[in-house]
Structure 1
Amino acid sequence: MRPSLVEILKCLKCGADDLHLMVKSKDDLEITKGLLSCRRCGLTYLIEDGILNCLVFADPSISAARRVYRRSKEVLGDTLPEMLARRWHMDSAYRQDTEANYRELLSRLDPGQGWALDVGAGTCWTTAGLAGRGYRAVAIDISADNKLELGRQHFDKDVYFDRVLADVNHLPFSNEVFGLSFASAALHHSRDLDSSLAEISRTTASRGRLEIINEPVRGLAEAFQKNTGQLEGPEGIVEKHYGISTWMGSLERSGFKGRCRFPANIRERLTAGSFTGRHKFHFLAGLIARFYRYRPFRSMLEGASFYPGLYLLGLPLIYSGEKTSAKKSPAVYDKGR
């Protein structure tokens, strides 16, 4: 981390923003080892390998997930860090889909001004893109193992971002500091979606932007499929599968107003007719792709038929919103905990 990050931090125990930074070692990029201490309550936060650890009161579900990620790192022990950071070891179809939606997002973003939060940043590939657009980006995740620790693979003369171990349900940031809050395929891992979005709202500036991409949405038609309402994932990792009405209701309650966008990955696959068995309703999608090249059909599909399709089939959530009202959140831990 860099010293400027302290400007937007607050203590998780008492809520004070009076934090003292002690630097033990640093390199040309950042503070690599040190600690922050709250002058009011004395709670300390360690900095190791450039990563600030704010998981001082980890929920049991977070501790379980961290153990899973540690075991996964041991399995992938000989894999090159650069390959892991750029996700080259992952399923190619999944990577192509998520990157298509991210490229589309970056094309809509103006050059960055101010702080940006990347929730559930993983290997920080998305954070690097935000930093490259000029934002003072902050990557948060619950694990450093083959996640935040890989962020350094993206650093160069034009790209730097801070990395923080943190729980999205209890963010260590002051109110309304981020002009942009962002999440890619992260919020469905939250143990409590309402609490997560309330915290994101609290730390997002008034009229600040919220961009969500690549979140799975449960379609009504999935009720007729095997394992409806379930997502595949390692045991110990929270996986939630919400319908679009749940997503939109939670976003509205958290003080955001916005709209869903037609997913770029679906547009690209309809154009190429390249759906695979890993895609939901891939047979139906293949039939639709045959007519997608006709402009009237394409306009109808991305226009009047988009929201019905979102509710029925559960297309990936691509959401653009603005914070229009404040949302109070219990962001300070019980002192007696």
Structure 2
Amino acid sequence: MQTPLLELLRCPFCRAPLADADSGLACGRCDRRFAVEDGIPRMLHPDLPGAAAKLAEAAGWVEKARRERWYEPDDALDAVLPFVNEELGWDDLNWASSSYSIRVLLDEVVGARTGLRVLELGAAKAWASRFWLARGCEYVAADILADPNIGLGRGAFYGDFARVQADGEHLPFAEESFDVVYCVATLHHALDLVRMVREMARVARPGAVVAGLNEGTRGVLRSPENPDQEAEKALRINEHVHTVWAYAAAFARAGLAIRRLERADGAPPRPFGRLLSKLPRVGPALGTLAHLSVYPYTGVSLYAERR
């Protein structure tokens, strides 16, 4: 049975329950109001810390899409996301990494479990909804971008499910609400990585899966200013490139136990990392940590359990 979204929502300021009020939502404790437009609660309130930067980023994504001519909806493309390389003959490394990582999450980490309540952050069009809905799961998509073509508004193409415009660092959901909380290529957009991972852990139930998929990384001696991100930064899109150790530390500080850590594309650690992976006291995760510590720029996926 689908849980009414209002039962899950909380004020992102004071975490009090919300109530319907004048075609929107209202917090009875701090008296803040939140609009509901096109069925999407707008919980990215301008008074939230960092909201101005997040709203500017949302506008930046729309501008980027228009400039690069992928703003208009494309049913044939959206129907096969993220598997554009296999289905459409593309050769896109980013989509290859997202495809591999979502398969691992669905088939190996979550496995045969069905009927779960799932929260995806940075969901964009919510293309992953179709996989969760097919498993009989309750799926909630959240993003700062509610645009009808490239944001949550496009989610209607995939089916009927809850969509919420929200900031991952101030999640408008009750504690211990979800069985799976994850994001794809989203953590590196956070203004405060540690805070966002803590928020993911807060709304996850004990024993829940919490994952960050296809997150960009840099070697420990590499500059945090990745030249590949300059075009996005010029559009006020919040881009950061962290070391794999920063991601691992953020998960640990949030009380999450990392169960699997690997390159986002599934490639094995190279030379010495592969050797380290074979040592009984090291294993694949530490071998990958060693590999990504020296690899210039690539990506990582972390799959964890909420203690």
Q: C-alpha distance in 1, partners of 2:162/2:71? A: 26
Shifted more, 41-50 versus 196-205: the winner is 41-50
Residues 20 and 38, structure 1, Cα contact 8 Å, conserved in 2: no
Aligned to 1:80: 73
Verify the 8 A CA contact 1:128 1:161 in the aligned structure 2: no
Q: Name the counterpart of 2:180.
A: 180
| Matched ranges for 1:199-210 at <5 A | 199-210=199-210
Match in the other structure for 2:293: 311
The aligned counterpart of 1:292 is none
Greater displacement, 202-211 / 253-262: 253-262
Alignment match of 2:305 (pick from 319, 322, 327): 322
Counterpart code for 1:55: L
Secondary structure (helix, strand or coil) at the match of 1:131 reads helix
Q: Sort the Cα spacing of 1:230 and 1:187 in 2 relative to 1 into closer, same or farther, 3 A.
A: farther
- Residue 153 of structure 1 is matched in structure 2 by 157
Structure 2 equivalent of residue 144 of structure 1 = 146
User: Contact 2:143/2:164 (CA < 8 Å) preserved in 1?
Assistant: yes
Alignment partner for residue 33 of structure 2, among 14, 24, 44?
44
* Partners of 1:170 and 1:152 in 2: CA distance: 25
The answer on whether the counterparts of 1:181 and 1:204 sit within 8 Å (CA) in structure 2 is: yes
Identity of aligned residues (%): 24
Change (3 A) 1:217 1:36: same
Cross-structure match for 2:62: 70
Q: Deviations over 1:129-171 (max 9, x none)?
A: 233333211111111221111111111xxxx421110011111
1:134 aligns to 2:109 (yes or no): no
Measured on the aligned residues, the alpha-carbon RMSD in Å equals: 3.2
* TM-score of the two chains, using structure 1 as the length reference: 0.72
Equivalenced residue count is 281
Write the deviation string for residues 197-244 of structure 1: whole angstroms up to 9, x where unpaired: 111121111222112210011123646xxx865551412011111111
- Report the AA paired with residue 138 of structure 2: R
Which structure 2 segments of 5+ residues have no match?
Answer: none
Question: Does structure 1 retain, via aligned residues, the 8 Å contact 2:193–2:250?
Answer: yes
Aligned equivalents of 1:74, 1:321: Cα separation in 2: 36
Letter of the structure 2 residue corresponding to residue 53 of structure 1:
R
Query: Is this contact kept in 2: 1:10–1:19, CA < 8 A?
Result: no
Opposite residue 66 of structure 1, the aligned amino acid is: A
Structure 2 Cα separation of the partners of residues 73 and 5 of structure 1 = 30
Which amino acid is 1:61 matched to?
A
Q: Verify: 1:239 aligned to 2:228, yes or no.
A: no
Pairing 1:1-337 to 2, within 5 Å after superposition: 4-20=4-20, 34-57=23-46, 59-75=51-67, 76=69, 79-83=72-76, 85=78, 86=81, 92-108=92-108, 109=110, 110-145=112-147, 146-155=150-159, 160-220=160-220, 222=222, 229=226, 231-232=228-229, 233-234=231-232, 235=234, 236-263=236-263, 265-267=265-267, 300=278, 303=284, 305-313=287-295, 315-324=298-307
Q: 1:103 to 1:77 in 2, by over 3 A?
A: closer
Structure 2 Cα separation of the partners of residues 264 and 170 of structure 1: 26
Evaluate the alpha carbon distance shift between residue 211 and residue 133 of structure 1 in structure 2; reply closer, same or farther with a 3 A threshold.
farther
* Bigger radius of gyration among the two: 1
Give the 3-state SS of the residue equivalent to 2:265 in structure 1.
helix
**What is the Cα deviation at residue 305 of structure 1?**
4.1
* Greater shift in the superposed pair: 182-191 or 146-155: 146-155
Alpha-carbon contact 2:117-2:179 (below 8 Å) kept = yes
3-state SS, counterpart of residue 316 of structure 1: strand
- Mark the runs of 5 or more structure 1 residues left unpaired by the alignment: 23-33, 271-283, 289-295, 325-337
User: 1:329 matched to which residue of 2?
Assistant: none
CA distance in 1, matches of 2:221, 2:29: 54
Q: Distance in 1 between matches of 2:244 and 2:71?
A: 40
Work out whether residues 191 and 238 of structure 2, in 8 Å CA contact, stay in contact via their aligned partners in 1: yes
Distance 1:73 1:222, change over 3 A: closer
1:228 and 1:64 mapped to 2: Cα distance? 20
Q: Is the Cα–Cα contact under 8 Å of residues 181 and 200 in structure 1 kept in the other structure?
A: yes
Q: Which amino acid aligns with 2:128?
A: T
